[in-house]
Structures are given as structure tokens and as C-alpha cells.
Amino acid sequence: MVWFEHYFGLCIVQHGRIKVKTTAEQQEAKRKEREKKLKIYNAGTEAVFQKRKNKEFDEEGLKLSGELLGVNPDIYSFWNFRREIFIDLQDKREEAELQKLLQDELHFLEACLKVNPKSYGAWHHRCFVMDAIPEPDWGRELHLCNTFLNLDERNFHCWDYRRHVVLRSNVNLDEELQYTTQKIQSNFSNYSSWHYRSKLLPVIHPDSSHPVAVQEDVLLKEFEVVQNAVFTDPDDQSAWFYQRWLLGRGQKKLQICCVHVSRDLQRIVVLLSRPVMMGQGHCLTVSIDTTPVAGKWRTITGSRMYSTLWVIDLPDQSLPVDKQASIAVTLMDDRYCTKFSEGLQLMPDQEETWAVAEFKQGSRFSTELSAAATSTMAQELESIRELQSLEPNNKWVLLTMIHLMKAIDPEHTKYAAELEESFNKLAAVDTMRKSYYWDLRSKFLIESVLESHDSKVRDVKLCQRGLSCLYHTDWMVLVTSIDLSQNYLKSVRSLSDLQCLRSLNLDNNQLADLQGLAFCRRLTDLSVKNNSICNVEVFEELRTCVFLKKLSVAGNPVCAIEDNVTKICALNKSLQVVDEQDSIG
């Protein structure tokens, strides 16, 4: 009888023989069981939502939501409901009773985390409970983190919670750093450990003058830690990303880099060292002859976004033709309670004037390295070269070599040929990301050209450079002439930054549109020969270029359209020549 009852759910007895259920019968039984569970689950869910709607913040709500969360800990709304209940109970229960309730909640959370150790809602709710409990035991929480990280050392939810625990308690940060070392040594492929390490070092060994805010001697020793990891497993990306952080240039000091004043356009353009949002802790002011000027600062395109370039349109006659003007621009930074000012003079016979901050050559886009840092990085480069001889087709090795060469030689004079070879090989071994590598190459080339020029240069030649995209166009705000011919450009949207641009050569690229040029309102000569422009409507973008006199369009599919010259001229009344033969001279 016992044997029969044990198997009753799986089989039936017929004519003295055991008949096992067929697959169809099993599936039907499972379907009915699922339907039964679903009805119970839906009824419970509806009951919880109704209680929350009625603001019934009681222990029954904890019981109902707990039954559901114990099965599925990923229902955010139920965790939010439980939080609301505890917030309500904080004012109604004695401290000891509240302590007991929240301790029970911590035990319940542990059970939920065993169901899903990577539940966003459960870990987030645990943060709330620990902040709300009258007598928190942070040591126990750290032990809990150790337990979960022993089960899965890459559980980034637990690593996030660990940082929360450390922040709230008096945990020794040196011990935490040692903990990351242990985890890394046990498994180099532990991105969370490397990431946590990058957060600890600036706190334990701070140096505000360094780009990554860590003392240089400590930072240089970290290269040894990384080297052990990358030589052990060159294909693992965790250590390579950490090394990129070590090479990172950090956040530049906020300052005014350039101010351009235009008398005929009655406006001022300001270039900052990093993107900001005006009105959110930052404010620009202008005074002319010590009189404050009212006006609203905007981005070049008028979009509400973070930007390095800001424009103010001055009231009419703010800069009279026959009068000298003294202009002062001030940037206020509320966060650090600092301000940066730049002053300049506009003489009666001047149409424009500008002021540019001085930068040491090679420091605009890269951090100037000390002798020790240069030596360490040179040694690191040699080590990576050795690894490259063993792993010739490893993309991480090649990419790191490129970044090391860039850090050591920001002007690209020492490693130019090797950089080019490395980029070509990268594109060959990692074809899925070759466009990224070409774009990175373009970025480095443009930085190299701009670093080698005086910051006040107004004529830039970037022709035949194999550029796939444009970078740092904000630093070309003073440029009046630029040659970008014979590249692989598909977009010139960022050329909107070139507010002084008059002559532009875009011959022999891959352009199908001219978006961005609408904001180059001083443009007089434009050549777009041998591109992929198919429609006359593309030239609508040039309507606002009221000074445009000459346009060269030969070699584009649009030239096959009947009366294309007439149609193009109709879009811009200032055009005097649409040349289908010659490019800009």
C-alpha cells in the first residue's frame, strides 16, 4: 500500500499491471499544475496591488508580498511596497520591535538571494533595510558579501552592495584593497575586482594633481599587477580594461580655452576645456566696457545638451563699428566656488578678435608624463611587445600597444610607422570592429595635427589622411580654411563647431549629405566634388550660409539631374557660381 501511494502520482494500476502515463498525459498534468499555480500567483499579485492602492501598510502586506517574492525576487513593485510598509512602521513601532522586524527582513532577503543571487531588487532593498535598522551589524553584512562572492566572485550586484557596506561602516580600506588582490590572484578574469580596485586607490592614495587622482608611485606599481594578469591570460579583457584606466587622462581642469568675438555677427563664442551644461552649476557672464550684457547662452546647434562651445548673441549695437570695446568673459563654477576670466580688446578697425589660453605643446589631449611615468610606460611597452611576439594576432595586445605609444608620444612623431602598422593589423585580426579602429586612428591623427599646430592656427590641412570621422572640431573654432579632401568621411555634422570657417574642401569623400554645415554661416567657398550626393535637396542645408559664393559639385550623382545648377542656386540666393568642373583653388 505504501509503495502504491508513493507512485500514485506517476502511474495507475490496470488489470494488475502498472501503466506509466504517456507523454501527452504528463504534459497535460504539467499544464494543469502550471495553470493552478498561475491562478494562485495572479490572485496574490492582485491582492498585493490592491493593498498598496488602499495604502494598507501592515504586516499582512509583508506576508502576502513575501510569499510571492520568495518564489520570484525580481518584482520591483513588491519590494517598493515592503519599503513603504517599513517607512510607515518606523513612526508606529518601538525601536526594539522595529529592530526585530528589520532583522527578520534581512533573513528573508537572504532566502530570496539564494533563489536569485543577482536580483537587483533584493540587493537594493537590503541597502534600504540596513540604512533603516536602528542597530545595523555591518560586520555581518561584510561576512555575507564574502559568502556570496565565494559562491560567485563575479557577482557585480554583491560587489555593489559591498561598496555600500564599506561606505557606511568603518571598514579598513587597505584590507579591502588586499581583498581585491586576493580575488584577482584567484581569478584574473574578475572585472568587478579590478573595478573596485580603481575606486579604492584614489581614496587610499589620493593625489588631486594626477589625472586619475592616484599617487604616481602607487599607480606605476599597478602596472606590475596588470602585467602578471595579461601574460597569464592575454585573451581576458578585465585586466586590459584596468590598464586602460591606468593610462586614462582623467578629467581636465575646467577653464576657458578660447574666446572669439565677432563684430559683424554681434556674438561671442566661448570654448571650455570640458563639456558643461549652463545653469547646472556653471554660469558664463559677459561685460563690455565693464557693463554687464544680458543674454542667453546657447550651444552652437541650439540643443539643450552638455557642450564645450557656448554662444551668446549680443544686443544690437553692442559692438559699434567706430568704437573700441573692452570685453570680459567670466565662467563661474558653483561646485568648486571658482571663476575663470578672459579679457580682450576689439579695436575700431577690427571685424573680430580672440584670446586663446596657452597650452604646452603635446598637452591639449594628453597628460604630460613625468620622467618616472615615461620610463615605466616605455618598459611596459617593451613587455607588451614581447607578448605580441607570442600572441601576434591578439587584439588586446595590439590595442594596448597603440594606447601606450599614444601616451608616451602624444604628437605621434616617434611611433608613427608602428602605430599605422598596428592599426592595420588590428583591423585585419578583428574585422567586426574595424570601423572602431579606423575611427580611433582618425582621432589620434587629428590630435597629432592639432598638437603640432599653434592653437591660434586658422588654416588646417587634413587631406589624404585616411580619416573615417572627425574629432575635436571644437578646438578648430578659429579655423577659417580646412582641407579634408581625399578621405573616407561619411558625415561632417561636427563641422558645425567651425564658427569662423570660410573655405572648405570636402572633395573625394563618401558624403551623401551636408548636415552640420547650416551652422557654418561665414562659409564662402565650398567644394564637395566626387562624393555621393544624389539629391538637390541636400543643398537645403546651405540656406543659412548667406556669404556662400562658390560651390563645386562635379562628380556627384546629383550632376545627372536636369537643371541641377538652377535648382541649387534657387536654394541659396547668395550663390554666384556653381562649378561642375573645378574645385576650390
Instruction: Give tens-digit pLDDT for 425-459.
Output: 999 999 999 999 999 999 999 998 998 887 778 99
Give whole-number Cα distances, 433 to 107, 241, 497, 547, in Å.
47, 17, 28, 41
Helix or strand (DSSP H, E) at 332:
strand 325-333
Ordered strands of the 291-292 beta sheet: 291-292, 282-288, 325-333, 338-346
Q: Where are the domains of the chain?
A: 33-247, 256-356, 371-440, 454-577
Q: Supply the CATH classification number for the domain 256-356.
A: 2.60.40.1130
With a cut of 90, say whether residue 19 has pLDDT above it.
no
Closest CA to 137 of 111, 99, 163, 96: 99
Cell of 180: 581585491
- Three cell numbers at 473? 572640431
391 in Cβ contact with 398 (< 8 Å): no
How many angstroms separate the CA atoms of 501 and 477, rounded?
Answer: 8
Bridge partners, 282 (sequence order)? 333
Can you give the pLDDT at residue 386?
92
Angstrom distance (rounded) from CA 228 to CA 454? 42
Least confident of 43-52, 185-194, 209-218, 313-322: 209-218
Does residue 142 surpass a pLDDT of 90? yes
Return the H-helix or E-strand segment holding 139: helix 138-151
* Percent of the chain predicted with pLDDT > 90: 58
State the CB neighbour count (10 A cutoff) for residue 200.
19
* CATH code 3.20.20.70 for 454-577: no
Q: Residue 316: its pLDDT value, please?
A: 86
Q: Check if 256-356 and 454-577 are the same fold.
A: no
- pLDDT given at position 2: 38
DSSP-derived 3-state class of residue 327: strand
Query: Taking the domain 33-247, which CATH number applies?
Result: 1.25.40.120
Residue 189: count of CB within 10 angstroms of its CB: 17
Residue 369 is predicted with a pLDDT of 65
CATH topology of domain 371-440: 1.25.40
54-108: per-residue pLDDT in tens?
A: 988 888 999 999 999 998 999 999 999 999 999 999 888 899 999 999 999 999 9
By the 10 Å C-beta count (0-12 exposed, 13-18 middle, 19+ buried), 90 is classed as middle
Q: Given a cut of 70, is residue 392 above it in pLDDT?
A: yes
Instruction: Give residue 8's pLDDT.
Output: 35
User: For 137, phi and psi rounded to 5 degrees?
Assistant: -110, 90
Q: What is the pLDDT of residue 338?
A: 59
Residue with cell 601576434: 392
